[in-house]
Each structure stands twice: as structure tokens, then as C-alpha cells.
């Protein structure tokens, strides 16, 4: 056997990433306050799950449920209801981090409001005129008055990452060269360039959001599924079972939401 054939045979025998037998995973990209898209995608996930053989199914929300889109309060409520009736794991994104830190830091509050937090606080019923007339300290008081403590506690309990089989789920990504169980919270919520510059070698296939792609970016060692729901009208989920992978998307076409599915 020549060298080319030996290399080809070794690659052909390389094990594929897999989730454990009997389990099924759906990972959902950044929702960013797009309540209607989220509802449509969850319905499509549940239809797909019911059509397959019974399995121990978990839905993972990859963080950034809030900010930028029109109904963050509705997304939080829908996520709480979904988690109350089935297995759902929710990861914390940089936008959840900013919301929680803005409650006690004026500097973080200023950045939070600049990068989508305004839409979040208004979705909780704060009067827009009162918001625009308020000083920064007064905005903190409005947030404290209008966002229920139950929602803040719910968001505070989000996880930073989790691993299932050969897949590692995280909001933003991981720092190359650092073991997965030693990643910093900051990197898990915020990292981009250093992580995205590398396609493999993380110790697992990393499934992440945070960085918008025109279509899911599928590399040997990472899969990015943030398709920019709040700006593109497309929210994407990744399905995993055994070594099988598939995508489900919900897309807003001028107010008409459709869903579609394809294998990858």
C-alpha cells in the first residue's frame, strides 16, 4: 500500500464525533429577543423530536436570549416555560452577563444599553418617554422596578458551558490550548478572533453562538450556529444524535415565519 492509500485509510477510519447512545441534542443559536422566531423554532424542534425514535432529548440554548430584538421579556418567559416542561439547559452569553452586572455598575449599564439593552428594558413595560428622560441612575431604578426578580434569578442560574459526548457547548467559544474544564468565564462569554482562527484541536467539537455567520459555519472542531436572528430574520438549531447532524431553521419572510430542515 503506497503512502497516499495509507493516509486515506487512516482518515477514513477516524472516529466521527458523537453524542452517547440513546441521547438526542438540539442546540439553539442566539435568540436576541426574537420571540416569534423562537416559538416557531421550538415547535419545529418538538415536531422533529416526536417524529424520531424515543430518546433522552435535551434542548440547549446557547445564550444571548436577550437584547437587540423586540421581545426579550417574551423570550425569557418562553424559555422559563419550556424548561418547566422538558429537559432544557441554558448557557449564559455576554448579553446576560452585561444585564446582571448593569444592576450594580453604571459603567456596564451604559454599555449594556448601547448594545441592545435598551430594547430589553423597554420589553418589560418601561414607558419609552420615562426611559428617555431618565438619568443613568434612574434607569437602574426602572430596571429594578420592572424586571421581575424571578427573571433575574432565572438568568443568573444559566450555565457557562457543558459537554455531552464529543461535543462541548458554549456561548462564544474557548481559548485554544486551555483544557475545556479550565476555560475562563470571560472567554466562554466573549472570545472571538483567537478561537475563530483555529478550526480544530479544542479537545471536543465546540458548538457555539456569539459570532454571526450568513449560514452555520461547520469546521472539523467547531460549529457556529448564530445566524443573526435579530438582523437576518433567521434563527438556527443544530440537531445531534449518534454521529448524525442536522439543521433546523426558522425564518421570517416579511412577517410570515417558515421552518426548514436539512442534514449536514
Distance CA 113, CA 133 (A): 14
Share of the chain above pLDDT 70, in %: 95
Q: Is the pLDDT score of 11 beyond 50?
A: no
Reduce the DSSP state of residue 251 to 3 states and report it.
strand
**Buried b or exposed e, range 132-151, using 16+ CB within 10 angstroms:** eeeeeeebbebbeebbeeeb
Domain boundaries 19-263, CATH class: alpha beta
Q: Mind listing the pLDDT tens digit for each residue in 203-256? A: 999 999 999 999 999 999 999 999 999 999 999 999 999 999 999 999 999 999
Full-model pTM: 0.94
Give residue 15's pLDDT.
74
Q: Work out the angle between the directed axes of helices 149-156 and 72-85 (0-180°, nearest 10).
A: 70
- Collapse the DSSP code of 109 into the 3-class scheme (helix H, G, I; strand E, B; otherwise coil) and give the result: helix
H helix intervals, 103-219:
106-112, 118-123, 128-133, 136-146, 149-156, 185-190, 193-196
- Whether 243 contacts 254, CB under 8 Å: no
pLDDT tens per residue, range 89-104: 999 999 999 999 999 9
- Of 207, 192, 167, 200, nearest to 61 by C-alpha is 207
Cβ–Cβ < 8 Å for 245, 264: yes
Greatest distance between any 2 Cα atoms in the chain: 77
Contact status, residue 58 vs residue 27, Cβ threshold 8 Å: no
Would you place residue 27 in the very low, low, confident or very high pLDDT band (cuts 50, 70, 90)?
A: very high
Given a cut of 70, is residue 3 above it in pLDDT?
no
Query: What is the average per-residue pLDDT within 182-205?
Result: 98
> Residue 7's pLDDT is what?
42
Q: Is the pLDDT of residue 193 over 50?
A: yes
Number of helices and strands in the chain (H, E): 12, 11
State the Cα–Cα distance between residues 143 and 98, nearest whole angstrom: 13
Does position 8 have pLDDT exceeding 80, yes or no?
no
Run of H or E including 261 = strand 256-263
Helix (H, G, I), strand (E, B) or coil at 126: coil
User: Dihedral through CA 40, CA 41, CA 44, CA 46, nearest 10?
Assistant: -110
> DSSP character for 20?
P
The span from the CA of 18 to the CA of 60, in Å, is 16
Amino acid at each position: 500500500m503506497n503512502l497516499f492509500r495509507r493516509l486515506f485509510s487512516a482518515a477514513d477510519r477516524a472516529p466521527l464525533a458523537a453524542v452517547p447512545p440513546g441521547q438526542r441534542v438540539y442546540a439553539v443559536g442566539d435568540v436576541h429577543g426574537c420571540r416569534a422566531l423562537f416559538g416557531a423554532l421550538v415547535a419545529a424542534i418538538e415536531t422533529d423530536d416526536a417524529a424520531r425514535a424515543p430518546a433522552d432529548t435535551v434542548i440547549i440554548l446557547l445564550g444571548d436570549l436577550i437584547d437587540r430584538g423586540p421581545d426579550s421579556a417574551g423570550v425569557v418567559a418562553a424559555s422559563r416555560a419550556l424548561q418547566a416542561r422538558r429537559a432544557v439547559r441554558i448557557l449564559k452569553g455576554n448579553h446576560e452577563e452585561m444585564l446582571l452586572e448593569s444592576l450594580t455598575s453604571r459603567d456596564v449599564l451604559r454599555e449594556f444599553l448601547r448594545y441592545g439593552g435598551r430594547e430589553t428594558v423597554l420589553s418589560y413595560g418601561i414607558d419609552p418617554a420615562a426611559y428617555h428622560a431618565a438619568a443613568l441612575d434612574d434607569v437602574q431604578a426602572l430596571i429594578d422596578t420592572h424586571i421581575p426578580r424571578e427573571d433575574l434569578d432565572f438568568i443568573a442560574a444559566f450555565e457557562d458551558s457543558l459537554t455531552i459526548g464529543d461535543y462541548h457547548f458554549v456561548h462564544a467559544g474557548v481559548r485554544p490550548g486551555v483544557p475545556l474544564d479550565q476555560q475562563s468565564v470571560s472567554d466562554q462569554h466573549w472570545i472571538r478572533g483567537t478561537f475563530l482562527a483555529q478550526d480544530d484541536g479544542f479537545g471536543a467539537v465546540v458548538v457555539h453562538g456569539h459570532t454571526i455567520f450568513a449560514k452555520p459555519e461547520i469546521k472539523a472542531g467547531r460549529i457556529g450556529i448564530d445566524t443573526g436572528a435579530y438582523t437576518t430574520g433567521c434563527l438556527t438549531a443544530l440537531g445531534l444524535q449518534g454521529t448524525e447532524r442536522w439543521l433546523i431553521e426558522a425564518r421570517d419572510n416579511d412577517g410570515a415565519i417558515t421552518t426548514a430542515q436539512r442534514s449536514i
